[in-house]
């Protein structure tokens, strides 16, 4: 049985240079060999410099320029689902459900789907600041565990809807 892996990376991205480096990675610049299926922005540009500028402007407008600037979430799908069209469709569906179900509509995000030998995965860089309320997203261990479980449910719903949910497990 193949596995889906969900990780919220521990790096805090406290410096602007860290965020810009992440966004360059997400947009495909700065690294020679990437098999990027797509890179998109949700509420912001998918271009690294422009997205970073948009993230920082929102944080400056609310006076929240210290601490964690963004979250980096990675969802890895197994090779059995490795088909560029399927990857894009599933990734888009999962991203839309995650934003809708978890209340991220008011958080800027860029996402990138890429295909490698071991798996297909999507990176999400989510602004730590809600652009309408000015409140930062915070998660303790229990909230993170609940967050991860909810993402698992969302992914399984999308995969079941598309006929792939019976042959997968989560790590």
Q: Where are the domains of the chain?
A: 2-170
Q: Hey, is 36 helix, strand or coil?
A: strand
Q: What is the CATH number of domain 2-170?
A: 3.30.930.30
Instruction: Tell me how far apart the alpha carbons of residues 104 and 117 are, in angstroms, rounded to a whole number.
Output: 31
Q: What is the rounded average pLDDT of the residues 134-139?
A: 84
For 19-53, the pLDDT digits (tens) are 988 888 888 776 655 677 767 777 788 788 888 89
pTM: 0.80
Report which listed range, 2-11, 109-118, 133-142, is most confident: 133-142
Q: Which residues contact 39 (CB under 8 A, 6 or more apart)?
A: 26, 27, 28, 46, 110, 111, 112, 113
Specify which residues 88 forms β-bridges with: none
């Amino acid at each position: 049985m193949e596995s889906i892996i969900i990780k919220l990376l521990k790096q805090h991205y406290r410096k602007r240079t860290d965020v810009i480096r992440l966004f360059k990675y997400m947009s495909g610049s700065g690294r020679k060999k990437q098999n990027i299926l797509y890179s998109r922005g949700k509420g912001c540009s998918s271009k690294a410099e422009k997205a970073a500028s948009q993230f920082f402007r929102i944080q400056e407008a609310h006076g929240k320029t210290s601490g964690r600037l963004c979250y980096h979430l990675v969802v890895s799908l197994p090779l059995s689902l490795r088909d560029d069209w399927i990857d894009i469709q599933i990734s888009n569906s999962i991203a839309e459900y995650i934003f809708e179900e978890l209340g991220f509509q008011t958080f800027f995000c860029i996402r990138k789907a890429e295909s490698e030998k071991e798996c297909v995965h999507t990176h999400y860089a989510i602004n730590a600041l809600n652009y309408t309320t000015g409140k930062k997203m915070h998660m303790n261990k229990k909230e993170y565990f609940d967050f991860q479980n909810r993402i698992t449910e969302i992914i399984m719903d999308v995969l079941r809807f598309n006929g792939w949910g019976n042959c997968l497990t989560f790590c």
